[in-house]
């Protein structure tokens, strides 16, 4: 292990480990400091284990569709704990993969907590109790974020949980209140309700998935209501009282105050940055309420002739998404190496929620486009007019493209329905390389595929959809 590096990365989540690999590919000497698990929240507690659970939920949900597909099942035993076990295995497999990638790229992994003592010195409190000093021309802070909590409400990890406890909870709760109807809350609500738990979602805003296009929120709300998920919007959790066998929540809303009781509560109201207590203030790194401030190349304000301190991922508070962290990591590494890079358009970043129906979007909504003064053209195509979706028996939802009427620029895309998280990248690619809806229609889409709905929505921008 060396003492002097071109780059020391603090944190090995999808931001940090990807930045490290890209820097190593570009010929730099790299070390990564990680106090917990390689892969960070994403691989261990977030993206990956939730997606494994959602697959289990999908399989279990099919058991309710015997009438549609012509089967009946009796005496089936469903083991929720086994779903959790499978999700842990999937996570562990990927984490091992990251460890392999570190070795393959000659990246030194230092197991411990990193603190900056100067702009070029990282002190590591090693997990084995020792300390180690690493010198670096450049430091990339990729320390991520943790669950945000409600002031005055204690997370006991038992009755009142964050995702950290929920993701390893092997006993299916009989009843659960999910506080927050963003992607994390909706995904857990979907998993538990698919297994038969009595789920209530409480959202402070006027609709679930409040950052999505309103029609998308409506479509998902309809599907959740059909599955008997209780959804309370314009509702705020005021207090939670924990008893021996459950929790009682006081909720205020349009109808005044009411109480809810449940075996468990999941608080899923967003994340807060991990930036305290690691020397950032001492070395003068600027932040805004804990989010480290960066420029387009992920540089903080601390720079000199030798190098700079960079920050990427959730700790920067841009978009708390794994692929954004990774994309920022690549830009940071390329900037450090002096290689060609492309700055990020945060508005074009894909945002996905993997409940059923799935939700995928980027860019701005129709209303936001109009507020910004665009004359917009909308192309919308329903999956019920798509042969593949009908064959799958999964045809709720639509593709909506928001385009500027004059230039044809794709301002936003809003998808809800089957496998839309896999369909979105085509539209992201179009937006990134400034293709217009007309150009999308000229790419021939295979038949029958769900992707034909993208071409149809692009045709619909000119009121020329063929199949609807
Ligand atoms: C339940 C859930 C589901 C999610 N699903 C998705 C999804 O489907 N798609 C998606 O894009 N995003 C998803 N996310 C968000 C995603 O997990 C994060 O955006 C992503 O992990 C951020 O990556 P990061 O590298 O910035 O930080 P993290 O993944 O948080 O990694 C930071 C790492 O830094 C380490 N660290 C912190 N401080 C120090 C220190 N001082 N010294 C050493 N190490 C330190 C931590 O131990 C951690 O391993 C989900 C999140 C949750 C909670």
Nearest atom in ligand 1 to 320's CA:
19
Q: What are phi and psi of 336, to 5 degrees?
A: -60, -40
Structure tokens, 290: 């804990």
What three-state secondary structure class fits 233? coil
C-alpha 94 – ligand 1 centre gap (Å): 14
User: Is 50 near ligand 1, meaning CB less than 6 Å away?
Assistant: yes
The CATH number of residue 124's host domain is 3.50.50.60
Out of 10, 36, 41, 353, mutate this one to test ligand 1's pocket (max ligand atoms within 8 Å of CB): namely 41
The answer to the question of residue 85 being in a domain is yes
The answer, yes or no, to whether residue 1 has pLDDT greater than 80, is no
Among 249, 269, 289, the domain boundary falls at 269
User: Has residue 401 been placed in a domain?
Assistant: yes
pLDDT above 80 for 140 = yes
In contact, 380 and 369? CB cutoff 8 Å:
no
Same domain, 9 and 119: yes
**How far is the CA of 427 from the CAs of 183, 213, 266, 398, 433, in angstroms?**
21, 16, 34, 14, 10
Span from the CA of 182 to the centroid of ligand 1 (angstroms)? 17
CB of 54 sitting under 6 A from ligand 1: no
Residue 465 maps to a domain: no
Residue 208 and residue 123 share a domain: no
Same domain (yes/no): 9, 140: yes
Catalytic site residue from 4, 291, 297, 447: 447
- pLDDT recorded at residue 426: 98
Distance (Å, rounded) from C-alpha 450 to C-alpha 457?
Answer: 12
* Coil, helix or strand at residue 25: helix
DSSP-assigned letter for residue 64? G
Is residue 399 situated within a structural domain? yes
**pLDDT one-digit tens code per residue, 178-199:** 999 999 999 999 999 999 999 9
Whole-model pTM?
0.97
Could you give the CA distance from residue 183 to residue 359 in angstroms, rounded to a whole number? 9
Query: Under 8 Å CB-to-CB from 226, ≥6 apart: which residues?
Result: none
Specify whether 13 is located in the same domain as 79.
yes
Domain end, chosen from 219, 239, 269, is at: 269
| Beta pairing, strands 351-353 & 4-10 | unpaired
Distance between start and end Cα atoms, the chain: 63
Residue 75, SS3 per DSSP: coil
Q: What's the rounded Cα separation, in Å, for the pair 207 and 63? A: 30
How many angstroms is it from 92 CA to the middle of ligand 1?
Answer: 15
Domain limits at 407? 357-460
* d(CA 145, ligand 1 centre) in Å: 6
351 strand-pairing partners: 361
Q: Closest residue (by CA) to atom 30 of ligand 1?
A: 144
> Probe ligand 1: pick from 94, 144, 291, max atoms within 8 Å of CB?
144
Q: What is the pLDDT of residue 3?
A: 79
Burial environment of residue 441 by CB neighbours within 10 A (0 to 12, 13 to 18, 19 or more) = buried
- On whether the CB atoms of residues 13 and 311 are closer than 8 A, the answer is no
CB 379 within 8 A of CB 461: yes
18 touches ligand 1 (CB under 6 Å)? no
How many angstroms does the Cα of residue 253 sit away from the middle of ligand 1?
33
At residue 354, does pLDDT exceed 90? yes
Picking from 141, 186, 185, the residue whose alpha carbon sits closest to that of residue 163 is 185
Number of domains in the chain: 3
Percentage of the chain surpassing pLDDT 70?
100
Judge if the beta carbon of residue 47 lies within 6 A of ligand 1.
yes
| pLDDT confidence bin for 279, thresholds 50/70/90 | very high
Q: pLDDT category, 374, cuts 50, 70, 90?
A: very high
Residue 437's pLDDT is 97
* 157-174: average pLDDT: 98
317 within ligand 1 shell (Cβ under 6 A): no
Task: Decide whether any atom of ligand 1 lies within 6 Å of the 321 Cβ.
Answer: yes
Minimum-distance ligand 1 atom for the alpha carbon of 329: 25
Answer yes or no: is the C-beta of 114 below 6 A from any ligand 1 atom: yes
- pLDDT, the chain, mean: 97
Q: Is 71 exposed, middle or buried (0-12, 13-18, 19+ CB in 10 A)?
A: exposed
For the segment 399-453, what is each residue's pLDDT rounded down to a tens digit?
999 999 999 999 999 999 999 999 999 999 999 999 999 999 999 999 999 999 9
Measured by CA distance, the residue closest to atom 12 of ligand 1 is 321
Nearest CA among 318, 300, 319, 325 for reference residue 310: 300
Residues 319 and 454 in one domain: no
> Cβ(364) to ligand 1 under 6 A?
no
**Joined tokens for residue 83:** 């779903």
109 CB within 6 A, ligand 1 = no
Q: Is 111 close to ligand 1, i.e. is its CB under 6 Å away?
A: no
Say how far residue 442 (Cα) sits from the centre of its chain: 32
Cβ atoms of 156 and 245 closer than 8 Å: no
**Cα of 357 from ligand 1 centre, angstroms:** 25
Beta pairing partners, 112: 126
Residues 139 and 282 in one domain: yes
* For ligand 1, atom 5: residue with the closest CA: 47
Angle, helix 214-226 to helix 183-194, in steps of 10 degrees = 20
Q: Are residues 110 and 59 part of one domain?
A: yes
DSSP 263: S
Distance from residue 231's CA to the centre of ligand 1 (Å): 28
447 annotated active-site: yes
How far, in Å, CA of 437 to CA of 434, rounded?
10
174 domain residue, yes or no? yes
* 36 Cα–ligand 1 center, Å: 11
* 206 falls within a domain: yes
- Whose alpha carbon is nearest atom 34 of ligand 1? 11
Residues forming a β-bridge with 242: 247
Q: Is 12 in the pocket of ligand 1 (CB under 6 A)?
A: yes
Give the residue from 346, 369, 398 where a domain finishes.
Answer: 346
pLDDT at position 2, please?
Answer: 85
Residue 254: which pLDDT band, with cuts at 50, 70 and 90? confident
Residue 153 lies in a domain: no
Provide the β-strand partners of residue 202: 179, 232
pLDDT digits (tens, 9 = 90+) for 210-246: 999 999 999 999 999 999 999 999 999 999 999 988 9
| Whether residues 202 and 318 fall in one domain | no
Task: Decide if pLDDT at 80 tops 80.
Answer: yes
Q: How confident is the model at residue 335 (pLDDT cuts 50, 70, 90)?
A: very high
């Amino acid at each position: 292990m060396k003492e002097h590096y071109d780059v020391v990365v603090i944190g090995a989540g999808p931001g940090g480990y990807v930045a490290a690999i890209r820097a190593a590919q570009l010929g730099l000497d790299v070390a990564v400091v990680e106090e917990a698990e390689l892969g960070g929240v994403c691989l261990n507690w977030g993206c990956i284990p939730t997606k494994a659970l959602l697959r289990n939920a999908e399989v279990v949900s099919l058991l309710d569709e015997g009438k549609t597909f012509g089967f009946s099942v009796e005496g089936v035993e469903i083991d929720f704990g086994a779903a959790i076990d499978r999700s842990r295995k999937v996570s562990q497999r990927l984490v091992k993969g990251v460890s392999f990638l570190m070795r393959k790229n000659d990246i030194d992994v230092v197991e411990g907590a990193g603190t900056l003592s100067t702009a070029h010195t990282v002190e590591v409190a090693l997990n084995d109790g020792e300390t180690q000093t690493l010198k670096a021309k450049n430091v990339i802070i990729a320390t991520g974020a943790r669950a945000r909590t409600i002031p005055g409400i204690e997370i006991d990890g038992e009755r009142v949980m964050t995702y950290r406890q929920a993701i390893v909870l092997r006993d299916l709760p009989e009843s659960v209140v999910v506080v927050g109807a963003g992607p994390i809350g909706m995904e857990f609500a979907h998993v538990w309700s698919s297994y038969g738990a009595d789920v209530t979602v409480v959202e402070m805003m006027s609709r679930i998935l409040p950052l999505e296009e309103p029609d998308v929120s409506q479509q998902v709300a309809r599907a959740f209501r059909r599955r008997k998920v209780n959804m309370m919007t314009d509702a705020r959790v005021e207090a939670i009282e924990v008893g021996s066998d459950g929790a009682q929540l006081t909720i205020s809303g349009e109808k005044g105050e009411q109480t809810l009781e449940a075996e468990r509560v999941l608080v899923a109201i967003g994340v807060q940055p991990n930036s305290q207590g690691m020397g950032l203030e001492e070395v003068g790194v600027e932040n805004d309420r804990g989010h480290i401030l960066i420029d387009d190349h992920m540089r903080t304000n601390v720079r000199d002739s030798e190098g700079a301190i960079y920050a990427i991922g959730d700790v920067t508070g841009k978009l708390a998404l794994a692929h954004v962290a990774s994309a920022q990591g690549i830009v940071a590494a390329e900037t450090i190496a002096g290689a060609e890079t492309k700055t990020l358009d945060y508005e074009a970043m894909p945002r996905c929620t993997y409940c059923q129906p799935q939700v995928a979007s980027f860019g701005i909504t129709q209303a936001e486009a109009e507020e910004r003064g665009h004359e917009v053209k909308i192309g919308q195509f329903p999956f019920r007019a798509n042969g593949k979706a009908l064959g799958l028996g999964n045809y709720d939802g639509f593709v909506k493209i928001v385009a500027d009427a004059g230039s044809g620029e794709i301002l936003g895309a809003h998808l809800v329905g089957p496998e839309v998280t896999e369909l979105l990248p085509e539209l992201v690619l179009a937006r990134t390389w400034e293709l217009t809806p007309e150009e999308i229609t000229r790419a021939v889409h295979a038949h029958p595929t769900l992707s034909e709905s993208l071409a149809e929505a692009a045709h619909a921008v000119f009121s020329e959809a063929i199949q609807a």
